């Protein structure tokens, strides 16, 4: 019963997340590119997506840090907040490069699958391939530690 | 600079919906609404049917959107298949290696006052801005455009 509720909750959260991406125009790579193009005809609109998101989510995280269990009785296990690793820096830089090139991050890519957008049908499998590639041991070791 | 108040209102409301989703997944399921992490774990078969349920909801959203008066989800792509494959590989590699994307670090991590996420967000935003600057303002003049 509890697992069924968590699955329904997750489906609703996914739906609301996707509706937010559609309403906010995050799903349009042209809008993302014009947000990132601060030297051109800059469109600051998408800054309000992050602001709106954090304004609503921050109180929930404040509450979660003070709770051990959720409303459905699930454990709350928040990720490490402090450790800065080479992997974090290299990964964030590679993600930024890919996001800048195409103007699509994982959420909008997946949401666009629902419209059978041809670009998303190419982009999302490439994202999955990149994720699997990142788990290839020699590459993980090269990321974790500089070559001697 | 483009200031479109209708778009800004939609962006803030859309952002609030994303925040509501993150708050719901956290306070009901105890999970972080980081899309790259959810996708990566779902693909690898990490136990948890909830991830597939979340992804189905996410993918179904543009089908529901027009029925409730939301704008249609239309993508104007910045390049062809080769660019999309290269960008996708980088986004997949980067989010896996850096443990998060715009949602996991940018919305959830910053909301959780995470130093890791603040560093990651600053780096991916800066690199994305530099990438667009080079593509739009440096590369064309080098190529004599």
- Do A72 and A13 share a structural domain? yes
Q: Which residues of B touch A61 (CB under 8 A)?
A: 26, 108, 111-113
Buried b or exposed e, range A112-147, using 16+ CB within 10 angstroms: bbbbebebbebbbbbbbebbeebeeeeeeeebeeee
pTM (2 d.p.): 0.96
- Do A73 and A107 share a structural domain? no
Checking if the pLDDT of A61 tops 90, the result is yes
- Summarize the confidence of residues A106-129 as an average pLDDT: 98
pLDDT grade for B141, boundaries at 50, 70 and 90: confident
- The distance of B141 to chain A (nearest Cα, Å) reads 14
Query: Using CA atoms, how far apart are residues B101 and A122, in angstroms rounded to an integer?
Result: 19
Residue B14: per-residue pLDDT: 98
Where does a domain end: A78, A103, A136?
A78
- Do A39 and A61 share a structural domain? yes
Where does a domain end: A78, A104, A134?
A78
For chain A, give the percent of residues with pLDDT over 70. Answer: 98
Q: Which chain A residue's Cα is nearest to B70?
A: A23
- Do A87 and A73 share a structural domain? no
Q: Could B119 and A84 be called an inter-chain contact, meaning their C-beta atoms sit closer than 8 Å?
A: yes
- Do A73 and A1 share a structural domain? yes
How many domains is chain A built from?
Answer: 2
Checking if the pLDDT of A147 tops 90, the result is no
- Do A60 and A17 share a structural domain? yes
Q: Could A50 and B15 be called an inter-chain contact, meaning their C-beta atoms sit closer than 8 Å?
A: yes
Checking if the pLDDT of B132 tops 90, the result is yes
Q: Could A11 and B25 be called an inter-chain contact, meaning their C-beta atoms sit closer than 8 Å?
A: no
Cα A55 to the center of its chain, rounded Å: 17
Q: Could B116 and A105 be called an inter-chain contact, meaning their C-beta atoms sit closer than 8 Å?
A: no
Q: Closest partner residue to A74 among B30, B58, B93, by Cβ?
A: B30
Q: Could A52 and B33 be called an inter-chain contact, meaning their C-beta atoms sit closer than 8 Å?
A: no
- Do A128 and A73 share a structural domain? no
User: Mutate which of B77, B80, B109, B123 to test chain A, going by most A C-beta atoms within 10 A?
Assistant: B77
- SS3 sequence of B60-102: HHHHHHHHHCCCCCCCCCCCCHHHHHHHHHHHHHHHHHCCCCH
- Do A110 and A143 share a structural domain? yes
Q: Could B127 and A97 be called an inter-chain contact, meaning their C-beta atoms sit closer than 8 Å?
A: yes
Domain of residue A101: give its range: 82-148
Q: Closest partner residue to B27 among A64, A100, A102, by Cβ?
A: A64
Residue B142: per-residue pLDDT: 85
Residue A148: per-residue pLDDT: 57
Residue A18: per-residue pLDDT: 98
For chain B, give the percent of residues with pLDDT over 90. Answer: 92
Checking if the pLDDT of B77 tops 60, the result is yes
Q: Closest partner residue to A17 among B18, B110, B114, by Cβ?
A: B18
pLDDT in tens, A22-38: 999 999 999 999 999 99
Where does a domain end: A47, A63, A78?
A78
- Do A73 and A122 share a structural domain? no
Query: What residues of chain B, 43 to 82, have a C-beta less than 8 Å from chain A?
Result: 43-44, 49-51, 53-65, 68, 70-79, 81
- Do A132 and A97 share a structural domain? yes
pLDDT in tens, A66-93: 998 999 999 998 999 999 999 999 999 9
pLDDT grade for B84, boundaries at 50, 70 and 90: very high
- Summarize the confidence of residues B118-136 as an average pLDDT: 97
Query: Using CA atoms, how far apart are residues B135 and B145, in angstroms rounded to an integer?
Result: 12
Query: Using CA atoms, how far apart are residues A57 and B21, in angstroms rounded to an integer?
Result: 8
Checking if the pLDDT of B61 tops 80, the result is yes
DSSP assigned state of A81: S
- Do A6 and A68 share a structural domain? yes
Q: Could B12 and A49 be called an inter-chain contact, meaning their C-beta atoms sit closer than 8 Å?
A: yes
Whether the CB of B139 is below 8 Å from some CB of chain A: the reply is: no
- Do A108 and A56 share a structural domain? no
Mean pLDDT of chain B: 96
Q: Which chain B residue's Cα is nearest to A28?
A: B75
């Amino acid at each position: 019963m509890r697992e069924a509720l968590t699955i329904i909750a997750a489906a609703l959260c996914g739906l609301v997340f996707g509706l937010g991406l559609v309403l906010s125009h995050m799903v349009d790579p042209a809008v993302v590119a014009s947000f990132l193009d601060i030297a051109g005809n800059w469109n600051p609109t998408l800054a309000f997506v992050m602001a709106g998101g954090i304004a609503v989510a921050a109180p929930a995280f404040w509450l979660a840090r003070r709770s051990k269990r959720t409303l459905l009785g699930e454990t709350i296990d928040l990720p490490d907040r402090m450790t800065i690793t080479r992997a974090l820096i290299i990964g964030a830089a590679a993600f930024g490069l890919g996001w800048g090139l195409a103007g699509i991050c994982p959420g909008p890519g997946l949401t666009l699958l629902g419209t059978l957008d041809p670009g998303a049908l190419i982009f999302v499998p490439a994202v999955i391939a990149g994720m699997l590639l990142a788990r290839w041991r020699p590459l993980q070791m090269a990321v974790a530690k500089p070559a001697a | 600079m483009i200031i479109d108040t209708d778009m800004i209102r939609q962006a803030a409301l859309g952002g609030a919906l994303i925040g509501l989703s993150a708050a719901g997944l956290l306070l009901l399921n105890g999970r972080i609404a980081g899309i790259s992490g959810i996708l990566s774990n779902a693909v690898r078969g990490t136990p948890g049917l909830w991830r597939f349920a979340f992804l189905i909801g996410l993918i179904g959203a543009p089908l529901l959107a027009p029925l409730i008066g939301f704008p249609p989800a239309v993508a104007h792509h910045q390049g062809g298949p080769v660019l999309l494959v290269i960008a996708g590989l980088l986004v997949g590699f980067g989010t896996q290696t850096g443990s998060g994307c715009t949602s996991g670090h940018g919305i959830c991590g910053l909301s959780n006052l995470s130093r890791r996420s603040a560093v990651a967000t600053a780096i991916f935003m800066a690199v994305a801005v530099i990438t667009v600057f080079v593509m739009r303002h440096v590369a064309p003049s080098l190529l004599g455009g």
